[in-house]
Structure 1
Amino acid sequence: MAVGNDDADERYKAPALDKGLDILELLSETEEGLSLAEIAKALDRSPNEIYRMLGRLVRRNYVVRTTADRYEISLKLFGLAHRHPPMRRLVGLALAPMRRFAREAEQSCHMVVYDRGSGVVLAQIDAPSYWGLSIRVGAHISLLNTGSGHVLLAFVSDAERAMMIEERVAVPNETWPERFEDLLAEVRERGYEIRPSQQTAGVTNIAVPVLDAGGRPLAALTCPQLDRLDGGPSPSREAILSLLLTAARDISAAAGVE
């Protein structure tokens, strides 16, 4: 995979690093793991070369050796990726679609990412009128009792979900929803969640995922929707959902994943 000047690439090659990255990339594409011989054959390298590198990757917990003497990628890279996500760039890409949503839907919205056991509010756009619900940027929210948390959990793999729940940081008054796995399956099937807020009366949370190229959630985009009581014109809940889905797709496209 040459990038830029070929001579410069040759001058600054790091064969051991390339070998380790080749192994990680290969294992990331398999579900049941590979044997030493299968890895060596796929990478066109000798088993001795691969064995030493695999030993280091296992020792550093990037790769797991199973009882069947096969090698699988661990969740360590997943954990590392979420310790320092590219928050500033994601916010920069999201602000324009979020502002457009708020203006057209006449509702506020916020974006939540997963970070070390909880959802974190990364960006917030207020409704254009004098009424709306605002969520503080930087606030940590429940994975179990919020639309954003449900979306973040629903669109990851079973292994990732188990890891996220295991390292979950509990928030005050948090409770396990009934039929939680069924709830997440419904969110995954529909592609969004519309559910009364479990924190604030009169609020309906509409939450959708911002997905990467592999279908994993970069973030959750959520509108704490409020109904007007004065009879003034406002978009329907269905129209608000459509606008929110469009905003999420626009953010994904801006991030270069569509």
Structure 2
Amino acid sequence: MVIIDKVKSLSRRNLLVLGTGVIGGGFAASITTKLVKAEATRKANITNPAEALQALLDGNKRFVDKKRRSRNEIYSRLQEVAKGQEPFASILGCADSRVPAEIVFDQGLGDLFVCRVAGNVATPEEIGSLEYGSLVLGAKVIMVLGHERCGAVTATLKGDPVPGQIGSLLEAIQPGLEKSQGQPGDKLENACKSNILVQIDNLKSSPVLSELIKANKLRIVGGYYDLDTGKVSLVS
């Protein structure tokens, strides 16, 4: 009875911490399952592009503030989404290992439809994937997520010969470099941000995505990730 009285006085967060050590793993698991369902319900309540974008930005703020809270990373969520997926947002991100979308936006299993390729370029394959993510799966926002000190953009700026198929990536980035010429400020940062905007234009050239935008079912935005702080800033 003493333990139960003490538990009643604890916050929900402390209760979860206490659960495995004092009041038993079964009770803690029950509480956690309820939180997972609540998290899934919150995602299901995202009904338009504005809400989807805000959910991404709110999640990134939690990540930056070291207050991540996503409950969609645990095993019960794995079992839930095995039956089907309804991601609320899609990310076209760079393959850079330092920019994992689910972590930096504080999301979990089944929340994001993610395509990653060096330089976050919108190739036909990436565009087709994102068409599927929005038209079939219902993602309400697509964020083209570039980042600080992108290696692919740096290589394009240098213009040195590259082996294999790497050159195809640099060719896709080249229009962004040309667009950034003459802009004041840091040359590499300008090129990274211009590349984001060019890839947005490439996505918007898709008839499938453009129709969804016209119907107010989709929004395509640009994001720039700061490697030093973890913050995502919108690019326009």
Report the structure, 1 or 2, having the larger helix content: 2
**Shared fold, TM over 0.5:** no
Q: TM-score normalised to the size of structure 2? A: 0.28
- Structure with larger RCO (C-alpha < 8 A, sep 6+): 2
Q: TM-score normalised to the size of structure 1? A: 0.27
Work out which of the two has the higher radius of gyration on C-alpha atoms and give 1 or 2: 1
